[in-house]
Amino acid sequence: MKQFLKDLPALLEGCLLVALGLVFLDSSNLLSGGTAGLAFLSHALIPELSFGQVFFLINLPFYWLGYHRLGPGLLLRTFFCVTLVSVLADLFGGLVQLHLAYPIAGAVFSAMLLALGISMLFKAGGSLGGVNILGLYLQQAMDWPAARVILAIDILVMLLATLVYGWQSVIYSTLCVTLMGLLLGRHFKPPAVTVEPQTSPSQ
């Protein structure tokens, strides 16, 4: 608990930046990859649910994988971050009105905000779960490289997005995802994840 309280300011700041990045994406009619991208797609198809609600719900199944593979510490921080980003994204979506003349500006600004926010979460021992948890799970369970799993899902999200957003938005969205990945890969490294083995009842 003491370590969590120590890391709490960085977790809050990271979630704030991520939520702002998502607002920039939405105002430019763009989307990201991974779980957030799936949430954007689902929100477009089911407008009755807000982005934050969909983002929170989509992450729920991944917590089971996180519990069995990543341990309760990272799982609780991930749940905290996902919940806070869900709330902040909906809150900012109603309070902040952005009108960007050029989609490329939205792609670049969003990539910078998302990369900075996610890097802060990484350094504070948090994450936004979802596809990242799935990638780590498959890497540990089936020896599939997590980076390739995440990339494959990002590509699938972008292909599906062409049916909803159109090619122009997908091209700029791909630019955002690529730039964000480059920024994270060049300047920030997530901490190594320690898998906490589960003890069987017989032990």
- pLDDT tens by residue, 153-182: 988 999 999 999 999 999 999 999 999 888
Q: How far apart are CA 148 and CA 167, in angstroms?
A: 24
- pLDDT tens by residue, 10-69: 999 999 999 999 999 998 999 999 999 999 999 999 999 999 999 999 999 888 877 766
What is the total residue count of the chain? 203
pTM of the model: 0.85
Helix (H, G, I), strand (E, B) or coil at 197: coil
- pLDDT tens by residue, 12-29: 999 999 999 999 999 899
Q: Return the percent helix, strand and coil in the chain, to nearest 5.
A: 75, 0, 25
User: What is the average pLDDT across 99-128?
Assistant: 88
